[in-house]
Amino acid sequence: MSRKPAGAASGVRWPAEWEPHSATWISWPHNAADWPDKLATIPWVYAEIVRALSAHERVEILCHSAALRSAARSALTAHGVTRNVRLHLCPTDRAWLRDSAPTGVLTRAGKLEWVHWGFNAWAKYPDFARDTKVPECVARATKTPTRIALRPDTGDHAVLEGGGIETDGRGTLLATEEWLLSRVQVRNPGMRRADYERLFATELGIRHTVWLGEGCVGDDTHGHVDDVARFAAPGVVLLAHERDPRDANHRRSLDNLKRLRRARDARGRPLTVVPLPYPRAVTMRGQRLPASYANFYVANGVVLVPTFNDPADREALATLSRVFPRRQVVGIHAVDLVWGLGTLHCLTQQQPAPRDHQ
């Protein structure tokens, strides 16, 4: 594994999630503190996710221990998953690979590189030392170089999570001000809007950043964008919109809608906004959970969508079927899963397929 300075990133491009993948990476769940009294059900949800994904692309699974690898294999076999899956030993603290794993970019020559962000467990949990090593596990397994992402203002390792960034693959990025620019700086103290835009440009090839306001209610990450706004195609953004004015997500989603209607993409074109409903509030032990259909995951030939036993499930699935007409849209029951404060996009990380040329 080699590490290159951030300046070597010139010419890279971060592909959109709907572009071809070589694989999807996940981490088999094992931390009981993430799903209090519910952990026993979560591996079965993961097995169903892998079953749906492995019909379309390879699934690479990190396993905390040999015993967990054996348990994962048994669960997958029970779900009829016998091909297109590889299991890797890699100690982890949590299973949210969207945030702890590296981000795959393509060089000007079309080769894959991994961008290795710093990770501090959203500045909320003390146990994250193993998760900081996840990019190294992925790099070794893929025999692909990683590049340490460096802050443009200090040269230190830049702390970032993949759930906070969203791209159209053509130089436009979505992020929220709540996540990176709120008064409490828990990732890169001292970095400002222009510094982040320089970081996105250097590490991901981004030419224009659209700043939204806040994330959704119940989000444990300080406002990740993948619960509120996602690209469906260049120039097309799916926005989680709460219709009920009594719900706290209503004000937030209206503000984000206004921002998107004013915004332009990297080519200067206006954005088309497609609304996604929110489900009714999902709570557990009095805690509001970040239940959002925007946390879908796009893989080769399929879109996995979290569902919540809610009347709005049907509308969300129909909307996603309409904007992704060439992909199968599959609902994954996520009421137990969201007790861990994340769902499908949070637990996956795509490995972009290399290209002959860019």
Active site residue 346: yes
| Farthest-apart Cα atoms in the chain, separation | 52
CA distances from 169 to 68, 99, 282, 323 (A): 35, 19, 32, 17
CA distance 231 to 171: 12
SS3 255: helix
Query: 13 phi and psi, to 5 degrees?
Result: -135, 130
- The catalytically annotated residue of 90, 137, 216, 346 is 346
Q: Please answer whether residues 155 and 115 qualify as being in contact, where contact means their C-beta atoms are separated by less than 8 angstroms.
A: no
Q: What crossing angle do the helices spanning 42-54 and 66-78 adopt, rounded to 10°?
A: 60
SS3 346: helix
Q: Which residues contact 346 (CB under 8 A, 6 or more apart)?
A: 96, 98, 99, 163, 224, 226, 295
CA distance 308 to 89: 32
Two tokens at 343?
A: 């769902």
Q: Which residues contact 170 (CB under 8 A, 6 or more apart)?
A: 16, 234, 265, 266, 267
Residues annotated as part of the active site: 346
